[in-house]
Every structure is written in structure tokens, then in C-alpha cells.
Amino acid sequence: MTEGERRLAAIMFTDVVGYTTLTEQDEPKAIQIRERHRDLVRPLVAQFQGQVIDATGDEILSVFPSSLLVS
């Protein structure tokens, strides 16, 4: 993409509900849940031609070329 060029995209943001509280209560369990979240989301992002932009902490930010399901 060149400077100033525009394109449409669909953005998806996911995170683990209650992650901070869980981390304070049971850090090993919180890490296990965070990794499970990543294991579930990453293949789905790839399946729908998306790209993970950021995955810091318990969040995953992904972008897709379209919001329409294209087969």
C-alpha cells in the first residue's frame, strides 16, 4: 500500500474477561487461559485471511481485508 492510499478493513479485538483479577488470584491459571485464548483465535484469524496486529497481554488485535465471508 502506498502513502495516502486507502483500503477498507474489518478490525477485531478480543480479550479475556476478568484477566487482571484472575492474574491477581491465580497467575498460573490466568496464563493458561491467556494461552488457550491465543490458541483458539490465531487459527481463526488465519482461516479468514486475517492478520494479527498485536497480542500483548490478554488481548489480540486482528485486521481482515473484508467483513464479508468469501469462500
Partners of 41 in the β-ladder: none
Helices in the chain by DSSP H: which ranges? 19-25, 27-47
Partners of 51 in the β-ladder: 63
Is a pLDDT exceeding 80 seen at residue 63?
yes
Is residue 54 within 8 A of residue 8, CB to CB? The reply is no
Partners of 63 in the β-ladder: 11, 51
Residue pLDDT, tens place only, 1-43: 678 888 788 999 999 999 999 999 999 999 999 999 999 999 9
Reported pTM: 0.80
Query: Domain segments of the chain: what residues?
Result: 10-64
